Structure formats: structure tokens, C-alpha cells
């Protein structure tokens, strides 16, 4: 299509463009639909927008590579240009192959685009670009709470739960047997936390308070200085009912024991008491010197 014809035609323009960073010569190839050829659009890729914020819009220029009459041809050209080989280059801001835009491609184009990504692992360069694109982004407190609450309402499918538990087991997050826990305890005897470690733990928990939302029973532990923000969102101080119930269940039927050598106190089940006593534990709370 002739550009001069486009200017006199008030319909939508389907463009494939290239945005260039004038400082480091990195490029971004994308597609754009517009009624104004001089709208100043540079692109919306994550890595590109991060770079525009860093270097400033004045250090980028856009040039139109191709004009088309319809979105199908536009996306086909993007698929042709922005392929896996293109993404391997170090001088590009694109993070994924072309063809996955706003418009729906025909079935054949979608299949081709999907095949080009199947089984492909992101390169180190691509991962770095994604990281740079997300770095420094701020998500508001209200948005974080909405995301948290929406996830709590989701019902996990059994097969997904099983898969999740299998993953946890592979990572070593299983509940250890009493024998294993005892061995771990023995291996830590005589090991004391450094002053720096104790200080960092203390600092991390200092000023933390429990709050919950009375309508959803969504509980959180936050820093004291953030309390007012949560109060404005309907939270109040205290533990959620679920948290209180869990604490009650965890303490039910347990006996407090301590180990003077390890300088710790803990609660154990009645059936496990003798095993701990054999390992040098005694009943009751540890008396600490004031």
C-alpha cells in the first residue's frame, strides 16, 4: 500500500514498525493499528517501555517498515520478522515471537505461531530482558490485597493439588518423621546463632502486628507503620478466626518441654514425649536468666 494513499484515507492503518534506541542502537519490531500515522506510538513491550523510562522518549525513533490493508497480513509479517533467530540477537528489545497481538489470526497463522514457541526455552538474554522489564514496577497495596483475596476464593482441582504436593516433596518440604526430626535436632547441638543473625531475625519481626478483615476473615501480619493504610481498606487489629482456630488446634494436647543445652523450649505431642526425654529434654518451660 502506498503511504500517500494512507494519509488521504481516514480508515485504520495496519503497520509493522521498528523503534530504535538512538543511544545503544537496540531495536524493537512490533505492529500497530492507528488512524493517525503521526501518533508518536513507540511500542508497548516490557523491555522497551523500561528502556524508554530509563533513556527518555526523545532518544527513540520509530520508522514504519510495512503498511497493510488488514490485521492478518500485518501479523503474518510480524511472525516472519520476529522469530526465534531474531530473539537470540543481543540488540533487540522483543521478548517473544511475533503474531500474538490484539487481533485474532486465522487458524493456520495461529498454529504456525504456536509451533514456533513449542518446546522453546528462553535464553539468558530473554530472561534478562524480562527481568529488566519488570524491575522497579510498583503494585499498590489495594491491588495486592485484591489479588490475595481472589486467590483464596479459588478452588484448587485435585490433580493440581497432587502435583503441587509432589513438587513440595521433591523440594524437601515434607513433614519429617520424629526420628528424622530428632537427628536434625542432634546435628544442631552446640550450634549457636551469630549475634548478626539474631539481630536480623529480631529486626525482621520487630513492630509486626496481626490484622484481619472482618468480612472475609483474611488475616495478615504487617509492620506497625502500615496499619493506617489497611484500616482505610476495612482491616482491624487482631487475629483472624482461622488463625485463632489453628493456634488452638496446634496447642491442643501438647506438652511443653525444654533443652538446657540447646537453650530452647517447644511443644510436643504426648506420644512423642518419651522420645524427647531420651534425647535430653525435660518437661516444663525453659527458665531464662533475666
User: Per the structure block, which three cell numbers stand in for 86?
Assistant: 531474531
pLDDT at residue 160 in the model: 64
84 in a domain, yes or no? Answer: yes
pLDDT tier at 166, thresholds 50, 70, 90: low
Structural domain harbouring 273? 253-290
Residue for cell digits 512423642?
272
At 95, which CATH number?
3.40.1440.10
149 in a domain, yes or no? Answer: no
pLDDT tier at 18, thresholds 50, 70, 90: very high
CA–CA dist 62, 41 (Å, integer):
8
pLDDT reading at 135 higher than 60? yes
pLDDT at residue 285 in the model: 82
CA–CA dist 55, 121 (Å, integer):
29
Residue 92: closest CA among 24, 145, 147, 150: 24
pLDDT reading at 121 higher than 50? yes
241 in a domain, yes or no? Answer: yes
Same domain, 60 and 109: yes
pLDDT at residue 169 in the model: 52
Angle at 287 between CA 285 and CA 288, to 5 degrees: 130
Q: Which residue has the higher pLDDT, 7 or 81?
A: 81
Order of strands, sheet of 236-237, starting from the edge strand that comes earlier in the sequence: 219-223, 208-212, 236-237
Question: What is the percent of the chain with per-residue pLDDT over 70, rounded to a whole number?
Answer: 73
At 146, phi and psi to the nearest 5?
-65, -40
- Picking from 134, 169, 191, the residue at the C-terminal end of a domain is 134
Name which of 34-43, 95-104, 140-149 the model is least confident about: 95-104
pLDDT at residue 22 in the model: 95
Name which of 19-23, 57-61, 275-279 the model is least confident about: 275-279
96 in a domain, yes or no? Answer: yes
Would you say 212 and 236 are in contact if contact means Cβ atoms under 8 Å apart? yes
191 in a domain, yes or no? Answer: no
Mean pLDDT of 75-86: 90
Strongest mean pLDDT among 125-134, 166-175, 204-213: 204-213
pLDDT reading at 66 higher than 90? yes
Same domain, 233 and 278: no
Within its chain, how far is the Cα of 270 from the centroid? 41
- Picking from 83, 117, 134, the residue at the C-terminal end of a domain is 134
Same domain, 114 and 8: yes
Same domain, 115 and 228: no
pLDDT at residue 227 in the model: 86
247 in a domain, yes or no? Answer: yes
Angle at 159 between CA 157 and CA 160, to 5 degrees: 65
pLDDT at residue 6 in the model: 46
Same domain, 243 and 259: no
Q: Which residues of 127-156 are buried (b: 16+ CB within 10 A; e: fewer)?
A: eebeebbeeeeeeeeeeebeeeeeeeeeee
pLDDT at residue 102 in the model: 43
Helices (H) and strands (E) in the chain, counts: 13, 9
Mean pLDDT of 188-217: 77
Same domain, 126 and 209: no
Same domain, 11 and 120: yes
Alpha-carbon distances, residue 54 vs 41, 137, 276 (angstroms): 17, 13, 59
pLDDT at residue 289 in the model: 60
Residue 31: closest CA among 87, 61, 76, 1: 76
Q: Which residues of 217-256 are buried (b: 16+ CB within 10 A; e: fewer)?
A: ebbbebeeeebeebeeeebeeeebeebeeeeeeeeeeeee
Same domain, 263 and 229: no
User: 3-class SS at 283?
Assistant: strand
Residues forming a β-bridge with 32: 15
CA–CA dist 276, 265 (Å, integer):
12
161 in a domain, yes or no? Answer: no
Same domain, 278 and 240: no
Same domain, 23 and 79: yes
- Picking from 134, 164, 183, the residue at the C-terminal end of a domain is 134
pLDDT tier at 30, thresholds 50, 70, 90: very high
* Neighbour count for residue 70 (Cβ, 10 Å): 11
Same domain, 268 and 246: no
146 in a domain, yes or no? Answer: no
pTM over 0.85: no
> Each residue of 91-103: pLDDT tens digit?
999 988 887 654 4
pLDDT at residue 41 in the model: 93
pLDDT at residue 138 in the model: 67
pLDDT reading at 221 higher than 80? yes
Same domain, 15 and 102: yes
Q: How many domains does the chain have?
A: 3
Amino acid at each position: 500500500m502506498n503511504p500517500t494513499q494512507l494519509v488521504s484515507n481516514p480508515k485504520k492503518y495496519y503497520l509493522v514498525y521498528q523503534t530504535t534506541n538512538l543511544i545503544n542502537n537496540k531495536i524493537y519490531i512490533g505492529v500497530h493499528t492507528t488512524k493517525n500515522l503521526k501518533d508518536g506510538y513507540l511500542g508497548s513491550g516490557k523491555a522497551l517501555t523500561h528502556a524508554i523510562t530509563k533513556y527518555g522518549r526523545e532518544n527513540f525513533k520509530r520508522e514504519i517498515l510495512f503498511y497493510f490493508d488488514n490485521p492478518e497480513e500485518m501479523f503474518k509479517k510480524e511472525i516472519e520478522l520476529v522469530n526465534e533467530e531474531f530473539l537470540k540477537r543481543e540488540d533487540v528489545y522483543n521478548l517473544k515471537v511475533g503474531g500474538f497481538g490484539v487481533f485474532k489470526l486465522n487458524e493456520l497463522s495461529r498454529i504456525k505461531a504456536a509451533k514456533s514457541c513449542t518446546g522453546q526455552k528462553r535464553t539468558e538474554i530473554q530472561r534478562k530482558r524480562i527481568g529488566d522489564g519488570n524491575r522497579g514496577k510498583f503494585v499498590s497495596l489495594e491491588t495486592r490485597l485484591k489479588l490475595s483475596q481472589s486467590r483464596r476464593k479459588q478452588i484448587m482441582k485435585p490433580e493440581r493439588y497432587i502435583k503441587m504436593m509432589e513438587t513440595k516433596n521433591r523440594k524437601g518440604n515434607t513433614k519429617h518423621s520424629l526420628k528424622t526430626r530428632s537427628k536434625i535436632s542432634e546435628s544442631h547441638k552446640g550450634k549457636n546463632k551469630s549475634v548478626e543473625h539474631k539481630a536480623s531475625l529480631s529486626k525482621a519481626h520487630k513492630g509486626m502486628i496481626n490484622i484481619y478483615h472482618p468480612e472475609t476473615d483474611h488475616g495478615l501480619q504487617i509492620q506497625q507503620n502500615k496499619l493506617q493504610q489497611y484500616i482505610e481498606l476495612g482491616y482491624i487489629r487482631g487475629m483472624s478466626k482461622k488463625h485463632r482456630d489453628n493456634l488452638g488446634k496446634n496447642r491442643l494436647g501438647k506438652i511443653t518441654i525444654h533443652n538446657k543445652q540447646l537453650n530452647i523450649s517447644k511443644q510436643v505431642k504426648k506420644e512423642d514425649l518419651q522420645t524427647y526425654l531420651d534425647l535430653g529434654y525435660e518437661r516444663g518451660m525453659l527458665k531464662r536468666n533475666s
